[in-house]
């Protein structure tokens, strides 16, 4: 029953991927399911917050992100995207299917006589990708006004084998920061570069110079990544363009390093402006904070995962950034873990954010059992 539900629900959601703040079909699917199963919920934009009230007004919360990515699908999934140029390439369809099953599981067990001592909140969150939808929900009265004893989330991970789960106490992810650059020089004919100021040459050297910040200004034990992922300039081969635009990302665990990095970026930019006669406009925008896992909830997670039969990997961290961190910024404790979905025999080996990403939804069963065991260990249930 569980396997069929996870497979069918995940496939339904995989067919209708929607990007941040446009998850209208996805939200409708979630709410139709909750209505059908008699689960109370609140609609907050395209996010949906469901709840089960217990005897105590103390809450255990679970978060699933529901949005997709703006990319064309190239996977062999039988339930391919029906929305051109959009794809669930990060596994959020699986996260949502998993949380919907937790709602179903709760409803059925409560109808069978299970006693709910504490309250449970299920958050189907919009706009995790690049928008930070968690911040809106974390600041919403429904969440902010309640005593949250713990909030949990999982993310599928194709670098870990099916049946495994991993996490870390303390820092679990990076703080992210956006870097937007515009270099302005002087356009000219490509055969007469001496008449212009070449922003492509300057941009190339600037990218190289930025790499010295991490290697020469940051202590080696501090995890820091600085990447320029987009460089756009010019439209034809024989014209040196007037402007070049670069987009980058910075990731740190220690947010205090952002001031150092910004200072060094500004100093390098000024040096290039003087040396090459260009002007450089830079927007430096701190974004998602780092996730810091509660040590209390980490120990509880380890027990819950082992009881679910998972192979536990300790010391596992998220290589990127995640807006789950917003839920814990005002005192609530949280725990974020990774669920293995790699299966080489079935060809499920492609990384997240790849157009070929796919996984077997049966792998979600381990995650659902971990969630259920967390409820037990949080003291949510009484006797049946």
Alpha carbon distances (Å) from 201 to 147, 209, 241, 272: 55, 12, 11, 11
SS (H, E, C) the chain: CHHHHHHHHHHHHHCCCCCCCCCHHHHHHHHHHHHHCCCEEEEECCEEEEEECCCEEEEEEEEEECCCECCCCCCCCCCCCCCCCCECCCCHHHHHHHHHHHHHHHHHHHHCCCCECEEEEEEEECCCCCCCHHHHHHHCHHHHCCEEEEEEEEEEEEEEECCEEEECCEECCCEEEEEEEEEECECEECCCHHHCECHHHHHHHHHHHHHHHHHHHCCCCCCEEEEEEEEEECCCCCEECCEEEEEEEEEECCCCHHHHHHHHHHHHHHHHHHHHCCEEEEEEEECCCCCEECHHHHHHHHHHHHHCCCEEEECCCCCCCCHHHHHHCCCCCEEEEEEEEEEHHHCECCCCCCCCCCCCHHHHHHHHHHHHHHHHHCCCECCC
What is the pTM for the complete model shown?
0.90
Nearest-angstrom CA–CA distance, 174 and 224: 8
Per-residue pLDDT of the chain (384 residues; tens, 9 = 90+): 677 999 999 999 999 999 999 999 999 999 999 999 999 999 999 999 999 999 999 999 999 999 999 999 999 888 999 999 999 999 999 999 999 999 999 999 999 999 999 999 999 999 999 889 999 999 999 999 999 999 999 999 999 999 999 999 999 999 999 999 999 999 999 999 999 999 999 999 999 999 999 999 999 999 999 999 999 999 999 999 999 999 999 999 998 999 999 999 999 999 999 999 999 999 999 889 999 999 999 999 999 999 999 999 999 999 888 999 999 988 899 999 999 999 999 999 999 999 999 999 999 999 999 999 999 999 999 865
Give the contacts of 108 (CB within 8 A, at least 6 positions apart).
none
Q: What is the pLDDT of residue 303?
A: 98
Q: What is the pLDDT of residue 1?
A: 63
Domains of the chain (ranges plus CATH)?
2-173+290-377 (3.40.630.10), 175-286 (3.30.70.360)
């Amino acid at each position: 029953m569980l396997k069929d539900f996870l497979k069918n629900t995940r496939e339904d959601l995989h067919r209708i991927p929607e990007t941040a703040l446009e998850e209208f079909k996805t939200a409708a699917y979630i709410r139709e399911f909750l209505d059908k199963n008699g689960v109370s919920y609140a609609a907050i934009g395209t996010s949906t917050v469901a709840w089960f009230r217990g005897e105590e007004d103390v809450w255990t919360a679970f978060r699933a992100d529901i949005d997709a990515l703006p990319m064309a699908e190239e996977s062999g999934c039988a339930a391919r995207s029906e929305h051109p140029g959009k794809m669930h390439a990060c596994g959020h369809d699986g996260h949502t299917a998993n949380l919907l099953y937790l709602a179903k599981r709760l409803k059925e067990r409560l109808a069978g006589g299970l006693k709910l001592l504490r309250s449970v909140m299920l958050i189907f969150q919009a706009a995790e990708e690049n928008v930070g939808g968690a911040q809106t929900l974390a600041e919403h009265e429904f969440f902010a006004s309640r005593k949250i004893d713990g909030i949990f989330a999982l993310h599928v991970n194709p670098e870990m084998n099916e049946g495994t789960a991993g996490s870390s106490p303390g820092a679990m992810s990076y703080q992210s920061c956006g870097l937007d650059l515009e270099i302005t020089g002087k356009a000219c004919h490509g055969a007469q570069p001496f008449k212009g100021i070449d922003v492509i040459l300057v941009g190339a050297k600037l990218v190289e110079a930025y790499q010295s910040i991490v290697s020469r200004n940051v202590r080696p034990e501090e995890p820091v990544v600085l990447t320029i992922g987009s460089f756009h300039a010019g439209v034809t081969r024989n014209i040196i363009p007037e402007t070049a635009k670069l987009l980058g990302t910075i990731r740190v665990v220690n947010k205090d390093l952002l001031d150092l990095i910004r200072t060094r970026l500004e100093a390098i930019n000024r040096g290039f402006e003087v040396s090459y006669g260009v002007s450089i406009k830079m927007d430096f925008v701190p974004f998602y904070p780092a996730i810091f896992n509660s040590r209390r909830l980490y120990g509880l997670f380890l027990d819950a995962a082992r009881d679910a039969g998972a192979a536990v990997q300790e010391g596992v961290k998220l290589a990127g950034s995640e807006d789950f961190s917003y839920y814990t910024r005002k005192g609530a404790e949280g725990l974020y873990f990774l669920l293995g979905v790699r299966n080489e025999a079935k060809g499920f080996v492609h990384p997240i954010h790849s157009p070929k990403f796919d996984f077997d939804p049966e792998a979600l069963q381990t995650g659902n059992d971990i969630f259920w065991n967390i409820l037990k260990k949080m003291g949510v249930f009484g006797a049946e």
